[in-house]
Amino acid sequence: MTEPASSTLDSRYGRTARSRRPLIIGLVAVIAVAGLGWLLWAAVVGSNPPVTSRLLAFKIVSDTQVTATVQVDRTKSVEATCRVQAKAADFSIVGELTLTVPADSPRNQSLPATLTTQRTATSVVLIGCTTADSQRPH
């Protein structure tokens, strides 16, 4: 009997019958574990910001003035900076105010804000609050 052509070619060119499948599976598993670890880390860090804020109320006082109330909650006693904008009917920014919350103030508080506007505002938008460590508004 003669040998099959594939085994003759394998012996002639020194190929072995080993497969690359375990190497590929191992590499995919390592990448998947690393990706899952990064996803969990990002979820934990992103879900616990040092400061959060929300706009409780606003009132259009006059053609050139708007008042707002902003609630600021901090997990640590750090200084926070909050930005509030007044917008006109065409969505252009007609007034802006930056509020600073000192580190030694209460962690949970409501802050009054009075914005001077260039023309009549129709809404107030809270951009968010940041700290020195977290520059993304929350």
Residues 73-114 have pLDDT tens digits of: 988 888 999 999 999 999 999 999 999 999 899 989 999 999
Place 15 in a pLDDT band, splitting at 50, 70 and 90: confident
* Residue 1 pLDDT greater than 60, yes or no: no
pLDDT for position 3: 60
Q: What is the mean pLDDT of the chain?
A: 88
Over residues 25-41, mean pLDDT: 95
Distance of CA 130 to the CA centre of its chain: 12
pLDDT for position 132: 86
* Residue 64 pLDDT greater than 70, yes or no: yes
Q: How far is residue 25's CA from residue 119's CA, in Å, rounded to a whole number?
A: 64
Place 21 in a pLDDT band, splitting at 50, 70 and 90: confident
| Neighbour count for residue 127 (Cβ, 10 Å) | 14
Residue 126: CB partners within 8 Å, gap ≥ 6? 53, 54, 55, 68, 70, 82, 83, 84
| Neighbour count for residue 60 (Cβ, 10 Å) | 15
pLDDT for position 77: 85
Name the pTM for this structure. 0.68
Residues of the chain above pLDDT 90, percent: 60
54 compared with 9, residue with greater pLDDT: 54
Over residues 46-68, mean pLDDT: 91
